[in-house]
Structure 1
Amino acid sequence: MSVRIGLIGAGWVTRHHLDAWRALSGRATVVAIADPSAEAREERAAQYAIPKTYADAADMLAAESLDAVDIASPRELHAAHVRLAAAAGLAILCQKPLARSFAEAEALVDEIGDRVPFMVHENWRFRPHYRLISRWLDEAGVGRPLQAQMSVLTSGLVPDARGELQALKRQPMLAGLKQMLVKEILIHHIDTLRFLFGDLSLRSAAVGRLSDAVIGDDHALLSMTTADGAPVILQGNLHARGYPGEVFDWLEIFCEHGRILLDRDRLTLQGKRSETVSLDLAANYAASYRDTIACFLDGLAAGRILENRPADNLGTLRIVDEAYRWRRPA
């Protein structure tokens, strides 16, 4: 039987959610969407043949016979929408971050507990190349990771030849976020690093703003360690001149018996065996949404959430919260 889904939110990211739900149409169906913007919700409904639209999420939950909700509303509304869905006894998939702060998220996780199936929609770790890196770490004989560094460098906040800022052209809402780079973008990479290496501890951070086009942070460097002390460095900069306007990941992992390198669309394993894989980044981006939602549906079928459990996701939010304590005044 197809799982009946209500989508809360009709903003930028919901296009990717809905593409994923459509790819899994044999297993689930989005039967309703709620968003205060009539234009946004009606546009999404028309694009994806969603039969019912609502201005208010509470009205949608009261009127529809749903099995689960996909919460993709603005992040300041996530906690309220989670509580609303939990009160209705519905399974919950909630877009990251869970709440406005770590403290609020921690209280929310404690409050909801195991009352309903509850998963965080954190999709970066589901990109096929990161799943492959995880398998290489486990199975390719490279041994224990000794050091890792990851970079997310883009000129997205540097005017291009037409005077446009590519980062804001793609996601205009970034301009108004007081906590932007770490909480909206690098949160994905922190979570992915935790997926690959286990729990991480933040040792120091530098967080600041270079561009007048945004009010929040646009560059950061986080120094972390794994449980056994291996250093893990993450740096991000949206004002990096000379880099592309799009966001690309770079990751290098030194292990006891080998090395793994992700360089944009090329993934290389060096060690007891060598392998190089060319990546279709656009396809992998779409797959990350699809596979996150598939994992949610698998969890519903199994009677337990399999990955991205809220209690575990708090480890990512803790690092985000701690990083902002190192933020330099603008």
Structure 2
Amino acid sequence: MSRLKIAIAGAGAISEFHLRGWRSRSDVEICGLCDPDQARAEARAEQFGIDRVFTDVEVMLDQTNPDAIDIITPVGTHADLVRLAAGKRVHVMCQKPMTATVAEAEALIADVGETVRFMVHENYRFRPHYAEMARRVADGEVGNVRHARLTVRSSSLFDYPGKTPFLLGRQPYLAGFDRLLVFEILIHHLDALRSIFGEMDVTSAVLDRVNSDVKGEDVALVTLRSAAGATIVIDANVSAIGYPPLPTDRLEVLGDRDTLVLDQAVIRKLSVEEPLTVHDLKANYQACFTGAVNAFADGLITGAPFPTDRLDNLKTLKLMESVYRAAGIAV
């Protein structure tokens, strides 16, 4: 397989960044775009020069005969669309989370089996600043990791008077989610932390809500223990007044040799004077979508494994559910 025909399911806000990733490749043909809202589908198709627009995914698959589909739809539709594609022998990349629960994911994975290749678009580990942290920790720059702390802040759910919170303006359905911050946002960070520290277990979790207009949590304090014995703490608040709407991350990694700090765009090692690494966070936002797209496309063309295949992503889903269980919330 040297050239890919890709079908796109979903024309919502996030599809723009997927499509920029696909358009960066010369070995890909986007053969169709589908959304139940035809006007929205047509607008996105015009933006990216896609000739064929559909409102039914099965019709799109039958008429375009793609090699693979990129599923960029709400989580409640994922399992049915993955099964539909697999039944037609179409490889799948599906937006995170794979499904709403681990039980649903396990059933889906069992049903699909080895029929097609199946990757989950979980992209934070592809952000260049997180990828650099993973590489430098793996290279032993801090020695054995003993402790890490991730602080996440944003005002994306803060209820400013007279304004719709940023995240609800982009994804209004999130207001009705019983599980919110960990399920929708921190699942990204959990996966990125897995890529840096390996497998972890949740030892405690406290969840809270600042914005009373949403059902789910917007504050989380989570403690984890890595398989190597490191203590890892996540302290997150996305209704934090004064912070920008997009999350700002600070990750401190303390080892027995040195300490490595990611502070928003800057990475530095504390014990020695060295040039700082300064990242362009706006560019990195698109880069993580493009990185996931490239991992999927390259894997299909070369046969290389997907970094976030269905089995790997199941571990992230299990970790996410463990946070809720530790906080006393049924899943």
- Mean Cα displacement is larger for which, 119-128 or 141-150? 141-150
Q: Is the 8 A contact 1:207 1:323 kept in 2?
A: no
Residues 1:20 and 2:29 aligned together: no
Q: How does 1:157-196 map to 2 (within 5 A)?
A: 157-160=157-160, 163-196=163-196
Identical residues among aligned pairs (%)? 37
- Mean Cα displacement is larger for which, 137-146 or 157-166? 157-166
For residues 96 and 230 of structure 1, the distance between their equivalents in structure 2, rounded to whole angstroms, comes to 27
For residues 98 and 277 of structure 2, the distance between their equivalents in structure 1, rounded to whole angstroms, comes to 34
For residues 173 and 50 of structure 1, the distance between their equivalents in structure 2, rounded to whole angstroms, comes to 28
SS for the counterpart of 1:325 is helix
Q: How does 1:40-79 map to 2 (within 5 A)?
A: 40-79=40-79
Residue 227 of structure 1 aligns with which residue?
Answer: 227
Q: Is the 8 A contact 1:208 1:328 kept in 2?
A: no
Q: CA deviation at 1:164?
A: 4.3
Number of aligned pairs? 328
Q: How does 1:7-156 map to 2 (within 5 A)?
A: 7-24=8-25, 26-139=26-139, 141-156=141-156
Q: Is the 8 A contact 1:119 1:305 kept in 2?
A: no
Q: Is the 8 A contact 1:118 1:305 kept in 2?
A: no
Q: CA deviation at 1:140?
A: 5.2
Q: Structure 1 counterpart of 2:314, which letter? A: L
Q: Is the 8 A contact 2:14 2:72 kept in 1?
A: yes
TM-score of the aligned structures, taking structure 2 as reference length: 0.94
Q: Structure 2 counterpart of 1:17, which letter? A: H
Q: Is the 8 A contact 1:33 1:53 kept in 2?
A: yes
Residue 306 of structure 1 aligns with which residue?
Answer: 306
For residues 11 and 110 of structure 2, the distance between their equivalents in structure 1, rounded to whole angstroms, comes to 28
**Structure 2 unaligned regions, length at least 5:** none
- Classify 1:268/1:150 alpha carbon distance in 2 versus 1 (closer, same or farther; 3 Å): same
Give RMSD over aligned pairs.
1.8
Q: Is the 8 A contact 1:96 1:121 kept in 2?
A: yes
For residues 280-301 of structure 1, the C-alpha deviation after alignment (integer angstroms, 9 at most, x for no partner) is 0010111111111111111112
SS for the counterpart of 2:276 is strand
For residues 170 and 36 of structure 2, the distance between their equivalents in structure 1, rounded to whole angstroms, comes to 22
For residues 281 and 194 of structure 1, the distance between their equivalents in structure 2, rounded to whole angstroms, comes to 21
Q: Is the 8 A contact 1:123 1:289 kept in 2?
A: yes
For residues 221-249 of structure 1, the C-alpha deviation after alignment (integer angstroms, 9 at most, x for no partner) is 21111002211111221122343333111
Residue 281 of structure 1 aligns with which residue?
Answer: 281
For residues 275 and 252 of structure 1, the distance between their equivalents in structure 2, rounded to whole angstroms, comes to 18
Q: Is the 8 A contact 2:102 2:317 kept in 1?
A: yes
- Classify 1:170/1:213 alpha carbon distance in 2 versus 1 (closer, same or farther; 3 Å): same
For residues 119 and 328 of structure 1, the distance between their equivalents in structure 2, rounded to whole angstroms, comes to 31
Q: Is the 8 A contact 1:140 1:272 kept in 2?
A: no
TM-score of the aligned structures, taking structure 1 as reference length: 0.94
For residues 265 and 199 of structure 2, the distance between their equivalents in structure 1, rounded to whole angstroms, comes to 27
Q: Is the 8 A contact 2:8 2:70 kept in 1?
A: yes
- Mean Cα displacement is larger for which, 320-329 or 38-47? 320-329
Q: Is the 8 A contact 1:117 1:305 kept in 2?
A: no
- Classify 1:244/1:323 alpha carbon distance in 2 versus 1 (closer, same or farther; 3 Å): same
- Classify 1:232/1:206 alpha carbon distance in 2 versus 1 (closer, same or farther; 3 Å): same
Q: Is the 8 A contact 1:148 1:254 kept in 2?
A: yes
For residues 105-124 of structure 1, the C-alpha deviation after alignment (integer angstroms, 9 at most, x for no partner) is 01211222222111110111
- Mean Cα displacement is larger for which, 271-280 or 122-131? 271-280
For residues 101 and 147 of structure 1, the distance between their equivalents in structure 2, rounded to whole angstroms, comes to 29
Structure 1 residue ranges, 4+ long, deviating more than 6 angstroms after superposition: none
For residues 306 and 320 of structure 2, the distance between their equivalents in structure 1, rounded to whole angstroms, comes to 23
- Mean Cα displacement is larger for which, 1-10 or 192-201? 1-10
